[in-house]
Each structure stands twice: as structure tokens, then as C-alpha cells.
């Protein structure tokens, strides 16, 4: 009888969560909501628009830090409202909210490696948290009994964390995060799986391309060194054939970073920064990352309502809220650098 009652309760909860998600998205600064940001002239105006009750007197730097923390906290709270409305959230959705823990762990491990004495600002994902950040800077105690303990088994044995390359830490965490998502795809029904897989596979492919550009541009990594950091997952396509999600990034390693013309036949060429007649062209990883983010945002927006009241709709909701988070924090950082909203939108490849 208990199982039967559980079965008839689930359809009542899913539509409520979906309706709540739609309501939150409708009031967010994405889609049509982004147009309300176009006339903003300063970080103070942005802060008051997003947080009407904000009246604190802070310096520009203090306001930026405060704004970014509140934006992230706001996003997490809104995601948790939806996750907690589900009787038993799917593992894939739990992994999505745990992306904040992965991000915190990257920041904390970086502080340990660089000998920082303080803990960076952390995200509160409530009962979904697994890392004991209170044990900082003792990495072994922090990661005890978590999935990360075995991941960093070799690093945790080192007496001097300064020997560790932070990029390898980030790559390991990314690989674990996405491998979990891909694993959990298999527990979805075919329609949900198809919707999420399309977004997820595209995201991993573009993430690989961003990493390839970053490592070559900022860290002067060789082709062989760069290839080692890529996430080479090989899901099967509709024909049952394995497709490498690192293929496009590997192909990009053949092209020069100081000449755009050779890139014209590359799949993601349109996402690269344009040529300026008055300057020598150089590949800009930040510009490519922004354009890739907008591409994924549009794909996610179109997918949000494809299957209402489903795991895929809540997955898209989480992604859309995280896109909004990125846009708002980037605009805030742009204001802090003296840019206006139009300049920030152009930099982010956002239309408003």
C-alpha cells in the first residue's frame, strides 16, 4: 500500500515543481527579462534592481563581492526550492546542485596549493554537501568519506601541495562531475535522456574547446599536454556509433593561435572572436567561452518546455538559473571595470 501511495503522489509533485520553476524563470533576468538590464548604468543600480531592499553603503569593491555572493546564494536557494519540492530528486538533478560543491573544492584546493590561510567564500547547498570544509587546510580530513578522497589519493599523500598543478586538479574534478552526469543519464526515460544528452554532450564538447584554447594561450601547453586535459567521453549517437566529445577540441590543436583564416573549416569557427582590421588577430579564449555559453543558453531555453514536469525540464531550469547567475556577475564585474551595460553585453555576446 505504501508503494502504491508513493506512485500516485509523484505526478502531483512534478507539475507543482515545474510550475514553480516556470514562475521563477518568468521573473529572472534572462529571456525577455534581460532587457530590463539594458538601461542600468552602475553596479549600485544593478544591485537595487536585483535586490530592491538593498540599501547598504559599501565601497565599490565591497559591493561587488557582496553582490556576487548574494547572486550565487539566490540562485542556489531558488534551485533548492525546486529540488526540495520533489519527493525523491533524480541523481542527475542532485549532481547539478552539487556543481557548487565542485566549484568550492576547486577554490579551496587552489588556496591550499598556494599556501593561503583563509577559506574562500563557500556555497551552502544544505543536505547535498559532502565535503567537510571546516577541516581546512587539512585536505585529508576535508575529503574523508567523500567521492573525492579516492580521486585525489596520490595528491593527498604529498607533504607539499605546492608540487601539484592546479589545472590537473580542475581537470580531475571536471572529469568526475561530467562522468557522473553521463552515468545518471542511463536511468532516465528515452525522451528525457535525449533532451539532456543533447545539451550535456554539446556542453562537454565546447568545454573541451575552451580548455584547449585556454591551455595553449595562457599556459603555453603543447598539443600533447593539452590533449591530456580533455574529457574524451564517447557516447553513442542515434545510429549506435561512438562519437568522441573531444574530437572538435583535438581538431582545434592543428590551427594557429595568431591567424584566423585556417580556422574557417572548423566546426565552431563562428564562435571565435572576429578579426579587427586595425589589429593582428589572436584567438581569445574568453570571447570564445562567452559565445559558447550563449549558444548553450539558447539551446537550453528552447529545450526547457519540450517535456513539461520532467527531469529534463528541471535540468534546463537549473542550467538557465546558472546562466542568469553568470550574466549578472559578469555585468557587475564589467561595471566595476568602468564598462557600461552595452559594453558588457557586447563582451558577453548577449543581445538586449
Instruction: Give pLDDT tens digits for 43-70.
Output: 999 999 999 987 767 887 889 999 999 9
**Higher pLDDT among residues 102 and 168, named by residue:** 102
* DSSP states along 1-36: -HHHHHHHHHHHHHHHHHHHHHHHHHTSSSGGGGGG
3-state secondary structure of 100: helix
Which range is least confidently modeled, 106-120, 203-217, 332-346? Answer: 332-346
Question: Residues 221-239: what's their mean pLDDT?
Answer: 87
Confidence of residue 350 (pLDDT cuts 50, 70, 90): low
Which range is least confidently modeled, 5-14, 18-27, 70-79, 299-308? Answer: 5-14
Position 352 scores a pLDDT of 52
Question: Residues 169-175: what's their mean pLDDT?
Answer: 91
Position 7 scores a pLDDT of 39
Position 302 scores a pLDDT of 96
Q: Among the residues of the chain, which ranges form H helices?
A: 2-26, 43-50, 60-83, 91-97, 99-113, 139-143, 147-151, 153-156, 166-185, 190-218, 223-227, 247-252, 285-303, 311-336, 341-347
Confidence of residue 40 (pLDDT cuts 50, 70, 90): confident
Position 3 scores a pLDDT of 40
- Name the residue among 315, 295, 316 with its Cα closest to residue 304: 316
Residue 159 has pLDDT above 80, yes or no: no
Domain limits of the chain?
A: 10-85+190-352, 91-187
Residue 8 has pLDDT above 50, yes or no: no
Position 11 scores a pLDDT of 38
Position 351 scores a pLDDT of 60
Residue 9 has pLDDT above 50, yes or no: no
Confidence of residue 123 (pLDDT cuts 50, 70, 90): very high
Residue 6 has pLDDT above 50, yes or no: no
Residue 12 has pLDDT above 70, yes or no: no
Position 236 scores a pLDDT of 83
Q: How far is CA 273 from CA 28, 252, 264, 282, in A?
A: 28, 14, 12, 8
Residue 333 has pLDDT above 50, yes or no: yes
Residue 247 has pLDDT above 90, yes or no: yes
Question: Residues 221-246: what's their mean pLDDT?
Answer: 88
Position 321 scores a pLDDT of 98
Q: What average pLDDT does the structure give for the chain?
A: 89
Position 335 scores a pLDDT of 87
Confidence of residue 211 (pLDDT cuts 50, 70, 90): very high
Q: How far apart are CA 155 and CA 113, in angstroms?
A: 11
Position 203 scores a pLDDT of 97
DSSP 296: H
- Global pTM? 0.90
Residue 80 has pLDDT above 50, yes or no: yes
Question: Residues 244-250: what's their mean pLDDT?
Answer: 96
Position 283 scores a pLDDT of 96
Confidence of residue 1 (pLDDT cuts 50, 70, 90): very low
**Higher pLDDT among residues 340 and 268, named by residue:** 268
Amino acid at each position: 500500500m505504501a508503494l502504491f501511495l508513493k506512485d500516485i503522489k509523484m505526478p502531483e509533485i512534478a507539475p507543482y515543481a515545474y510550475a514553480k520553476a516556470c514562475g521563477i524563470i518568468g521573473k529572472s533576468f534572462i529571456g525577455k527579462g534581460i532587457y530590463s538590464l539594458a538601461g542600468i548604468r552602475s553596479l549600485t543600480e544593478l544591485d537595487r534592481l536585483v535586490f530592491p531592499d538593498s540599501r547598504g553603503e559599501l565601497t565599490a569593491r565591497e559591493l561587488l563581492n557582496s553582490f556576487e555572493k548574494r547572486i550565487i546564494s539566490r540562485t542556489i536557494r531558488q534551485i533548492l526550492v525546486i529540488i526540495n519540492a520533489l519527493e525523491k530528486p533524480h541523481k542527475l538533478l542532485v549532481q547539478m546542485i552539487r556543481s557548487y560543491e565542485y566549484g568550492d573544492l576547486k577554490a579551496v584546493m587552489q588556496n591550499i596549493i598556494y599556501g593561503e590561510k583563509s577559506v574562500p567564500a563557500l556555497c551552502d547547498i544544505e543536505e547535498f554537501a559532502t565535503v567537510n570544509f571546516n577541516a581546512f587546510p587539512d585536505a585529508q580530513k576535508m575529503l574523508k568519506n567523500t567521492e573525492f578522497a579516492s580521486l585525489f589519493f596520490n595528491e593527498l599523500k604529498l607533504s607539499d601541495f605546492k608540487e601539484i598543478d592546479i589545472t590537473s586538479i580542475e581537470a580531475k574534478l571536471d572529469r568526475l562531475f561530467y562522468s557522473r552526469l553521463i552515468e545518471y543519464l542511463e536511468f532516465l526515460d528515452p525522451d528525457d535522456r535525449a533532451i539532456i544528452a543533447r545539451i550535456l554532450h554539446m556542453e562537454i564538447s565546447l568545454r573541451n574547446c575552451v580548455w584547449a584554447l585556454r591551455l595553449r594561450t595562457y599556459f603555453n601547453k603543447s598539443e600533447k599536454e593539452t590533449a591530456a586535459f580533455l574529457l574524451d567521453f564517447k557516447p553513442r549517437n542515434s545510429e549506435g556509433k561512438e562519437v568522441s566529445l573531444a574530437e572538435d577540441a583535438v581538431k582545434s590543436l592543428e590551427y594557429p593561435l595568431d591567424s584566423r583564416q585556417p580556422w574557417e573549416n572548423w566546426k565552431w569557427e563562428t564562435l571565435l572572436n572576429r578579426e579587427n582590421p586595425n589589429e593582428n588577430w589572436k584567438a581569445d579564449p574568453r570571447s570564445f567561452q562567452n559565445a559558447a555559453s550563449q549558444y548553450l543558453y539558447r539551446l537550453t531555453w528552447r529545450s526547457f518546455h519540450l517535456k513539461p514536469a520532467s527531469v529534463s525540464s528541471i535540468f534546463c531550469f537549473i542550467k538557465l538559473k546558472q546562466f542568469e547567475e553568470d550574466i549578472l556577475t559578469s555585468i557587475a564585474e564589467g561595471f566595476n571595470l568602468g564598462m557600461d551595460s552595452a559594453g558588457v553585453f557586447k563582451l558577453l555576446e548577449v543581445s538586449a
